[in-house]
C-alpha cells in the first residue's frame, strides 16, 4: 500500500518508467482537473497517468494490479453524475487515474461502414474523419457532453437522440479485466485477429498491422439495431431507453468503467443527401404528444431527431449561453474542448486569489457576453413570443416532404405553427437546444446569492405517457424555477428545479423521483448512475460479473468501495 512518502515516490518512479515523467502527475493541485467532477464528485488520487500507447496503458494496469491499487480509467471527464472521478475519502486503497486522451486513434474498417475507436478518441474527431467518407457517427454531441469520448458513450449507454441509430452500444470491444483470482486478463471481442499475447494484440492494433481478411464478419452487434422498432411503440408501458436496461448491458456497453476498455468497434452510417429542420411551436402539451404519436406511428421514414425546449429554457439559453453561441458560430465546435481546458486553467488560477469569486470564468464570460449581439434569428424570437413549447424536428431525404405535408395538414386544424428553417436557422435552433444545460448551470452560478440549490433530473418516461410535462412538485412554494428540455420522441427529458434558499434539495429530489417511478418512469435515462444514483439490480450484477475484485472504479452506483465488494 502506498501510504507513506517513500511508497508514493516509488510508485511515481515506476509509472514514469512506463509513460515518461511529463505524463505522470502526483501534485494535488495539478491533479484537480482529473480528480474533480464536472458537476459533482471528487476525491484524492495517488497519481494521474496519461499513456500514449495501448501497450503503455496495459503496463500501467499491470503495475496497479501488482501493487493492489484501485484503478479509474477516464477520458474527457465530462460526466454529470461524477462517475469518472473518485468520490470522497473512504476508499480502502489508493486510486490511480488513467487518463486516455492521448489514445485517440480511429481506424476505419469494412469500407468505412465500421470503425475501431481507441479509448481517448472523441466524437469531434470521428465526425471529421467520417465526413470525408460520406458517413456519419452513431451519436451526436449533446448539451452535457461537448468533447465527449466515443468509448465513454459506450461505457455509459449514452445517447439515443438519433432515432435511426439509438443509444451507443456495441458487443465488439477490446478490454482488460481482473478475474476472480485477481489476475489481469486481456479480452479481445473485437472480432479482429490480432495475435495471441496481450503485447502482440495491443501493438498489432496500435499500428494497424492487420489485413481486411483478419477483420471477421460477425453476428455480434456494433450498434443497437432494435431501437428503431422500440421507439415507434408509442403505446408501450415502459420507457424506450434507460441506463440500466438489461438488454443493453454487454461487456463494455454499460460497464461504467468496471473494466479497462482499450477500443470499441462500432457501425457508422451513410450521410443523408439532404437534411431539414422544422421548428414547431404550440401552447398545449397534449398537441405535442399527439404529433409525437402520429409521426412515430405513421411516418414511413423516422425523423433524424426531435428536441424539445420549453420557453423558460429558451430564455435562459439566449442570455447565459450567448458567448458559447458566438464562439461556436465564429470558430466552430471543434475548438470547444480546448476552450474548456482554458476555462479550467482560469478557474484554477482564480482559486489562488482570495478576492476573486468561485466559478470565476463563468462570471467573467457572462459579463463579456453582454457586449455581444443576440445570436438567435428573429424568426425563432417571434415563435418564442407566441408559443410556450418548442420542438426542433430534424428530417432527412424523403422524410423532408413527408414532414412538411404532415405539418401543413396538422396545423390547419390545430393551434400552433411551424417554420421550415433555412440552414442558418436550423443550425441556431439545434445549438439553442444543445447549449441549454450549460446555460442553466451558469444562470444558477451567476445568481447564486438569490437562489437555493438546483436539482437535476434525467428521466425516461413511459412511451405511452401523456402527462409528460408536469410533476406535482411544480407548483410547490419551495420551487423558484423549473426548466424542461430533452429528446421528445423517446420521452427522455431533463428537468432542472431551482429551489428557495434553505430547502432540502435531497428531500425534494426524492419526492420527484418517487413520483416518476410510481408513474412507470426509469432513471437515470442517459447520464448513468455515477456516484449520484444507486445502481439497480441488473446493473449491479453487470458490475459484479465484470469486476469480481472491485478494482475498477470502485463505488460506482453507490456500491461498495472496498476490495472484493466487502
Q: How far apart are CA 235 and CA 464, in angstroms?
A: 5
Specify the length of the chain in residues: 566
Q: Return the C-alpha cell found at 310.
A: 420549453
Residues ≥6 apart with Cβ < 8 Å to 159: 138, 139, 140, 142, 153, 165, 166, 167, 168, 526
Q: What pLDDT was estimated at residue 148?
A: 80
Residues 417, 396: Cα–Cα separation, whole Å: 20
Strand partners of residue 87: 42
- The answer to whether the CB of 55 falls within 8 A of the CB of 197 is no
Report whether 355 contacts 438 (CB < 8 A): no
Find cell 447564486 and name the residue: 448
Q: How far is CA 338 from CA 10, 333, 449, 503, in A?
A: 33, 10, 30, 37
Domains of the chain: 5-102+543-565 (3.30.43.10), 106-270 (3.30.465.10), 275-449 (3.30.70.610)
Q: Are 174 and 189 contacting, i.e. CB atoms less than 8 angstroms apart?
A: yes
Q: Name residues whose C-beta falls within 8 Å of residue 420's C-beta, 6 or more positions apart in sequence.
A: 276, 278, 404
CA distance 94 to 202: 27
- Going by the DSSP 8-state scheme, the letter that residue 422 receives in this structure is -
CB 162 within 8 A of CB 305: yes
How many whole angstroms separate alpha carbon 99 and alpha carbon 102? Answer: 8
Cis geometry, peptide bond prior to residue 339 (ω within 30 degrees of 0): no
Q: Looking at residue 160, what is its pLDDT?
A: 76
The Cα 223–Cα 166 span in angstroms is: 8
What is the predicted pLDDT for the residue at 342? 80
- Which residues in 171-250 belong to E strands, given as ranges? 173-178, 184-188
Half-sphere exposure of 455 (CA within 13 A, CB side): 25
Q: State the Cα–Cα distance between residues 55 and 36, nearest whole angstrom.
A: 27
E strand spans, 325-443: 389-396, 417-420
Residues 88, 89, 93: CA angle, nearest 5 degrees: 120
DSSP state of 251: T
What pLDDT is recorded for position 145? Answer: 47
Q: How far is the C-alpha of 287 from the C-alpha of 220, rounded, in Å?
A: 40
The terminus-to-terminus CA distance of the chain in angstroms comes to: 18
CA 492 – CA 516 distance, rounded (Å): 12
Grid cell listed for 251:
461487456
Report the DSSP pairing between strands 95-99 and 70-74. Answer: parallel
Phi, psi of 4 (to 5 degrees): -145, 170
Contact 265, 191 (CB under 8 A): yes
**215: β partners:** 192
Alpha helical stretches, state H, 420-536: 423-434, 436-446, 505-518
Rounded Cα gap, residues 22 and 43, in angstroms: 22
Query: Do the Cβ atoms of 96 and 71 come closer than 8 Å?
Result: yes
Nearest Cα residue to 83 out of 27, 118, 42: 42
Phi, psi of 39 (to 5 degrees): -120, -35
In 3D, which of 254, 116, 257, 138 has the Cα closest to residue 194? 116
- Any idea what DSSP says for residue 146? T
Secondary structure of the chain: what % helix, strand, coil (to 5)? 40, 20, 40
pLDDT at 2: 54
Q: For the chain, 566 residues long, give each residue's pLDDT as a single digit of tens.
A: 455 788 889 999 999 999 999 999 999 988 988 998 877 778 999 999 999 999 999 999 999 999 999 999 999 887 778 899 999 999 999 999 999 999 999 999 999 999 999 999 988 889 999 999 999 999 875 534 456 889 999 999 887 789 999 999 999 999 999 999 999 999 999 999 999 999 999 999 999 999 999 999 999 999 999 999 999 999 999 999 999 999 999 999 999 999 999 999 999 999 999 999 999 999 999 999 999 999 999 999 999 999 999 999 999 999 999 999 998 888 777 677 677 778 777 877 887 788 888 888 899 999 999 999 999 999 999 999 999 999 999 999 999 999 999 999 999 999 999 999 999 999 999 999 989 998 999 999 999 999 999 999 999 999 999 999 999 999 999 999 999 999 999 999 999 999 999 999 999 999 999 999 999 999 999 989 999 999 999 999 999 999 999 999 999 999 999 999 98
Q: What is the pLDDT of residue 147?
A: 62
The three cell numbers locating residue 320 = 447565459
Q: Return d(Cα 418, Cα 422) in angstroms, integer.
A: 13
Q: Please, which contacts does 554-557 make with residues 24 or more away whose CB atoms are closer than 8 Å? A: 554/70, 554/91, 555/87, 555/88, 555/91, 555/531, 556/83, 556/256, 556/257, 556/258, 556/529, 556/530, 556/531, 557/256, 557/529, 557/530, 557/531, 557/533
d(CA 318, CA 323): 9
For residue 116, with 0-12 CB atoms within 10 Å meaning exposed, 13-18 middle and 19 or more buried, which class applies? buried
State the cell numbers at 184: 489481469
Beta-bridge partner residues of 393: 278, 306
C-alpha cell at 180: 476472480
Amino acid at each position: 500500500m502506498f501510504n507513506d512518502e517513500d511508497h508514493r515516490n516509488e510508485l511515481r518512479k515506476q509509472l514514469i518508467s512506463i509513460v515518461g515523467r511529463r505524463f505522470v502527475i502526483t501534485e494535488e493541485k495539478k491533479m484537480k482537473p482529473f480528480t474533480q467532477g464536472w458537476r459533482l464528485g471528487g476525491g484524492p488520487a495517488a497519481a494521474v497517468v496519461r499513456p500514449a500507447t495501448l501497450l503503455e496503458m496495459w503496463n500501467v494496469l499491470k503495475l496497479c494490479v501488482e501493487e493492489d491499487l484501485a484503478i479509474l480509467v477516464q477520458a474527457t471527464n465530462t460526466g454529470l453524475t461524477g462517475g469518472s472521478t473518485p468520490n470522497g475519502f473512504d476508499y480502502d486503497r489508493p486510486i490511480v487515474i488513467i487518463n486516455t486522451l492521448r489514445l485517440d486513434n480511429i481506424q476505419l474498417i469494412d469500407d468505412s461502414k465500421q470503425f475501431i475507436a481507441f479509448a481517448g478518441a472523441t466524437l469531434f474527431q470521428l465526425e471529421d474523419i467520417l465526413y470525408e467518407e460520406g458517413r456519419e457517427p452513431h451519436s451526436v454531441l449533446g448539451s452535457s457532453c461537448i468533447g465527449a469520448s466515443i468509448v465513454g458513450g459506450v461505457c455509459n449507454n449514452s445517447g439515443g437522440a438519433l432515432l435511426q441509430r439509438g443509444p451507443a452500444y456495441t458487443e465488439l470491444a477490446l478490454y482488460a479485466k481482473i478475474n476472480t483470482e485477481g489476475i489481469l486478463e486481456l479480452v479481445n471481442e473485437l472480432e479482429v485477429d490480432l495475435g495471441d499475447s496481450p503485447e502482440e494484440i495491443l501493438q498489432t492494433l496500435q499500428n494497424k498491422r492487420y489485413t481486411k481478411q483478419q477483420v471477421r464478419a460477425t453476428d455480434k452487434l456494433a450498434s443497437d439495431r432494435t431501437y428503431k422498432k422500440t421507439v415507434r411503440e408509442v403505446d408501450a408501458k415502459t420507457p424506450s431507453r434507460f441506463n440500466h436496461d438489461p438488454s443493453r448491458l454487454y461487456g463494455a456497453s454499460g460497464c461504467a468503467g468496471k473494466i479497462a476498455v482499450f477500443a470499441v468497434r462500432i457501425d457508422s452510417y451513410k450521410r443523408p443527401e439532404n437534411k431539414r429542420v422544422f421548428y414547431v411551436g404550440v401552447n398545449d402539451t397534449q398537441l405535442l404528444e399527439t404529433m409525437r404519436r402520429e409521426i412515430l406511428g405513421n411516418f414511413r421514414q423516422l425523423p433524424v431527431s426531435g428536441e424539445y425546449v420549453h420557453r423558460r429554457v429558451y430564455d435562459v439559453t439566449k442570455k447565459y449561453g450567448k458567448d458559447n453561441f458566438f464562439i461556436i458560430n465564429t470558430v466552430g465546435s471543434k475548438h470547444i474542448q480546448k476552450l474548456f481546458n482554458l476555462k479550467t486553467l482560469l478557474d484554477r488560477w482564480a482559486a489562488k486569489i482570495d478576492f476573486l469569486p468561485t466559478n470565476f470564468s463563468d462570471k467573467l464570460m457572462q459579463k463579456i457576453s453582454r457586449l455581444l449581439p443576440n445570436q438567435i434569428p428573429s424568426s425563432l424570437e417571434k415563435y418564442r413570443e407566441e408559443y410556450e413549447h418548442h420542438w426542433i424536428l430534424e428530417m432527412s431525404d424523403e422524410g423532408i416532404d413527408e414532414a412538411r405535408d404532415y405539418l401543413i395538414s396538422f396545423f390547419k386544424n390545430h393551434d400552433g405553427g411551424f417554420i421550415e428553417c433555412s440552414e442558418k436557422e436550423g443550425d441556431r435552433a439545434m445549438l439553442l437546444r444543445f447549449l441549454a444545460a450549460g446555460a442553466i448551470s451558469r444562470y444558477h452560478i451567476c445568481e447564486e446569492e438569490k437562489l437555493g440549490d438546483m436539482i437535476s433530473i434525467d428521466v425516461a418516461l413511459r412511451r405511452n405517457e401523456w402527462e409528460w410535462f408536469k410533476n406535482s412538485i411544480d407548483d410547490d412554494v419551495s420551487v423558484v424555477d423549473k426548466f424542461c428540455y430533452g429528446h421528445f420522441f423517446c420521452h427522455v427529458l431533463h428537468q432542472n428545479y431551482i429551489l428557495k434558499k434553505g430547502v432540502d434539495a435531497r428531500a425534494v429530489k426524492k419526492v420527484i423521483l418517487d413520483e416518476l417511478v410510481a408513474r412507470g418512469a426509469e432513471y437515470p435515462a442517459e447520464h448513468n448512475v455515477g456516484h449520484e444514483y444507486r445502481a439497480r439490480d441488473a446493473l449491479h450484477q453487470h458490475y459484479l460479473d465484470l469486476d469480481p475484485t472491485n478494482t475498477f472504479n470502485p463505488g460506482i452506483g453507490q456500491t461498495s468501495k472496498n476490495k472484493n465488494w466487502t
